[in-house]
Every structure is written in C-alpha cells, then in structure tokens.
Amino acid sequence: MQLKIVGESLNVTNTINDIIKSSLDLNGAFSANEVLSKNLAVATKGYSLEAVKMAIAESTLNEEQIRSILIKQGLQGEILETTTAELAQVTSTNALS
C-alpha cells in the first residue's frame, strides 16, 4: 500500500469524524441520518476511492452512510452493492468493539 494513500485515508478519517461531531445535537444524538449521509458524501468527494474505503473500514458508519459516500465516489450497480455490503460488515464489527 502506498504511503500517499495511507496519509490520505487519515485525512478522510479526520473529515468523517469532524462531520460526525458537527452532526451531534445538544443531547449527543445524531441529526437526521439522511442529512448526515449527505454531508459525509459531499465532504469525502475529493479523496481517492482507496483512501475513502480505508477510512470507512476504520469507522462505525452505517450502510446508508457508506452507500451515500460510495455513490459520490462514482460507484454504481453491482460494484456499489458489494463494496457497500463488505464495508458495512466491517463497520458493524467496529461498532460492536
């Protein structure tokens, strides 16, 4: 794996974490998932697909949020579905940890 992609994935992770923090309301609950998903997708659009996938794999994002990000990255059809499912499985494991 190239060092450039690792560094970029750290930037994506920071971007995701910043969006999540800014989406918390005063009670610590998330704003509407749809809004959060859209904000995540827009914020991660300028990054490479590999860096975004690495960052998602380290997160606790849900399937809808992952799908929104991957659609903005240009994935479609079967590739979108399988990549979303694989990453959702990884992030659900992260959420349990």
* Chain segment 49-89, per-residue pLDDT in tens: 999 999 999 999 999 999 999 999 999 999 999 999 999 99
Q: How far apart are CA 16 and CA 56, in angstroms?
A: 8
Count Cα atoms within 13 angstroms, Cβ side, for 10: 5
pLDDT per residue as tens digits for the range 16-30? 888 888 776 655 555
Place of tokens 């809808």: 64
pLDDT for residue 37 is more than 80 = yes
Q: φ and ψ at 2, to 5 degrees?
A: -75, 145
Task: Please report how the helices 3-22 and 49-57 are oriented relative to each other, as an axis angle in degrees rounded to 10.
Answer: 60
Among 35, 38, 40, residue whose Cα is nearest residue 60: 40
Tell if the pTM clears 0.85, that is, is over it: no
Q: Specify the pLDDT at position 29.
A: 59
